[in-house]
Amino acid sequence: MSKKIFVKLILTVTALCLTAPLGYTQTARPDETATKERTAWWREARFGMFIHWGLYAVPAGEWKGGKTSGYSEWIMHKKRIPVEEYEQLAEQFNPVKFNAEEWVKLAKAAGMKYMVITSKHHDGFAMYHSRVSPYNVVDATPFKRDPIKELAEACRKEGIKFGCYYSIDRDWHHPDAFCPNQGQGNTWDYPDDSKKDFNKYLREKALPQVREILTQYGPLGIIWFDGVGTKTAEQNEEIIAMVRELQPYCLINSRLGDWKSFKWGDYRSMDDNKVADELLPYGWENPGTINETYGYNKHDKQWKSPAEIVQILVDIASKGGNYLLNVGPKADGTIPAESVSILREVGKWMDKNSESIYGTTASPFGRLPWGRCTAKPGKLYLHIFDWPKNGELEVRLPRNDVIRAYLLAYEQRGDLLLGGDDRDNLVITIPRKAPDPIDAVVVLEKEAEPEATPQAKDGSVSLKAMNAVVRGKNARYESGGGKDNIGYWTNPNDYVTWAFEVTTPGAFSAKVTFACARGTGGSDYALLVAEQELTGKVTDTGSWTNFVTEKLGTVRITEAGTYRLSIKPKTMPGSAVMNLKSVMLVPIKK
């Protein structure tokens, strides 16, 4: 990372806007559409794990009896450790307790959807098997294993997106890597900047290693660059072109150059531990620490509490951002016990409340004195950090605008009582005691129009559960724990609807993907689109998570435009309709 690296609650809004700007809207970029497509999973994820791990975990914030202040991964620079002396740390680096699956499962248990680890930090040491330089974890340490490879495989197994951090400008091990504008280069071994050829460093080491990372570990979710603006615009464009050629769907963060402006990449990486003060017109991410440092420091005991982590995450999501929360593993390959305990507690909150984080957009209003708000079409999630004690939640909002209110994690207790004047204030009766001291979430529901899904380049239309608007009392979107569907469909009057755009009309084969447990099937349902109706019957698929795809028939769309597609039950002989995962319209070739 960079070195710089209440008694009554009144919510005031003039109009309730239940949809907020989505992620990336900057218009100056020619590839805006491609960027939105690439970042779709990232905007859905909202929460990821950052990992800073390298030789600096051996001294762990202490050198020759003296403690270092600030980031421990900067110890080589802070103590002006000669290259030859720092290299000897490789002989001591043998993390025999490293277990990639344990790390990934911890991230998953915390509710994190992606992981980014340092493949090479500023000290120049590669934490993967590099053929470009023998100064790497396989060739230079007694460990002889490639942790990047093992983590990439474990992430794929657990459904976690995997990414690599790479320090692109700073490399204290290479004589030609220098940072004159920041004073962050190696000036103790290589003092004469006039003799350094930065382009040689790029050609000789940095670019070949980035190519290795992009070609040795399968599809990457993110290549996370850390730079200080030493490179030229042309060099940055070359790096971006290489990434796009080798991995077109891999995200690039903004730190190729100037951090203060968003000139490069798919989304903006903020300064370390920096949360945006306001809604930004593009996707952004906060790379934050779980204590004070990024790399492991045995003296750093300034741990953030689970409540702090959750509330930072909510604050970030309420402004349309992502939280990339760092852990610094020890030299033996274990993640500090304090980090593990904190993340597991965060995971307990996420297990109950992740719907209010994943796939949400920014709050339609600004900072709130009692907490924060996230949004989805038809829903507002009120994150209450400071719970009102009189049992009333007053919202200056027309009563008729809200059709339902309930506690997200305690929905089984039933709906909250809605009162107040139809034209003025809405008063919600809530428990006098907060059901969750960290963040209890009150959900407000309203009839909402779904956002239109664009037709894909191949002519197909993919309507996923997470993008549907659910009408009714019980049915709702389920996520987490392998779930990604409309579930709890126990009311035959509930239905789901999508909007989609068609640019290339034609005939389409309609396919529905669903699951239904044994003894529960038999519901008849209708697919309605463009004044056409197709019918189907829900069959038992063995369980609520064993999904099958049924072809219903053909629909014809004769003109380009925006259309509505709905799935509605006709009969429900069992206890539920189905778990609905998606609807696909596949063009029928002539």
In the chain, where are the structural domains located?
A: 21-64+75-356, 371-445, 452-587
* Domain 371-445 homologous superfamily, CATH: Golgi alpha-mannosidase II (2.60.40.1180)
CA distances from 296 to 1, 209, 292, 438, 551 (A): 13, 25, 10, 27, 54
* Beta-strand relationship, 161-167 and 114-120: parallel
For residue 422, what pLDDT band results from cuts at 50, 70 and 90?
Answer: low
Average of per-residue pLDDT across 515-536: 94
pLDDT tens, position by position, 267-308: 999 999 999 988 888 999 999 999 999 999 999 999 999 999
- The reported pLDDT for the residue numbered 396 is 67
Average of per-residue pLDDT across 205-212: 98
Residue 20 has pLDDT above 60, yes or no: no
Helix %, strand %, coil % of the chain (to 5): 25, 30, 50
For residue 421, what pLDDT band results from cuts at 50, 70 and 90?
Answer: low
Average of per-residue pLDDT across 12-31: 33
Classified as helix, coil or strand, 475 is coil
> Considering only 313-317, 412-416, 508-512, 575-579, which range has the smallest mean pLDDT?
412-416
CA distance 74 to 410: 46
Per DSSP (E only), the strands in 96-212 are 114-120, 161-167
- The reported pLDDT for the residue numbered 423 is 53
CA distance 110 to 347: 4
Average of per-residue pLDDT across 165-174: 97
Average of per-residue pLDDT across 485-505: 94
Residue 489 has pLDDT above 80, yes or no: yes
Among 3.40.50.300, 3.20.20.80, 3.30.1540.10, 3.30.365.10, name the CATH number for the domain at 21-64+75-356.
3.20.20.80
Return the amino acid letter for 211: R
Burial classification of residue 427, based on how many CB atoms lie within 10 Å of its CB (0-12 exposed, 13-18 middle, 19 or more buried): middle
- The reported pLDDT for the residue numbered 24 is 25
Average pLDDT, the chain: 90
Q: What are phi and psi of 296, to 5 degrees?
A: -65, 130
CA distance 279 to 361: 10
For residue 5, what pLDDT band results from cuts at 50, 70 and 90?
Answer: very low
Residue 29 has pLDDT above 70, yes or no: no
- The reported pLDDT for the residue numbered 562 is 93
> Considering only 76-80, 181-185, 252-256, 512-516, which range has the smallest mean pLDDT?
181-185
CA distance 590 to 582: 25
| DSSP letter assigned to residue 182 | T
- Higher pLDDT, residue 365 or 432: 432
Residue 51 has pLDDT above 60, yes or no: yes
- The reported pLDDT for the residue numbered 6 is 26
- The reported pLDDT for the residue numbered 270 is 94
CA distance 37 to 23: 11
Rg of the chain over Cα atoms, rounded to whole angstroms, equals 26
Residue 398 has pLDDT above 90, yes or no: no
> Considering only 79-93, 350-364, 405-419, which range has the smallest mean pLDDT?
405-419
| DSSP letter assigned to residue 517 | B
| CATH code reported for the domain at 452-587 | 2.60.120.260
Average of per-residue pLDDT across 346-370: 90
* Residues 6 or more apart whose Cβ sits within 8 Å of residue 33: none
- Higher pLDDT, residue 440 or 68: 440
- The reported pLDDT for the residue numbered 174 is 97
- The DSSP H or E segment spanning 127 is none
- The reported pLDDT for the residue numbered 31 is 61
Residue 15 has pLDDT above 70, yes or no: no
Chain position carrying tokens 């020890």: 330
CA distance 70 to 66: 13
For residue 202, what pLDDT band results from cuts at 50, 70 and 90?
Answer: very high
Percent of all residues in the chain with a pLDDT value above 70, rounded to a whole number? 92
> Considering only 216-225, 342-351, 471-480, which range has the smallest mean pLDDT?
471-480
- Higher pLDDT, residue 173 or 17: 173
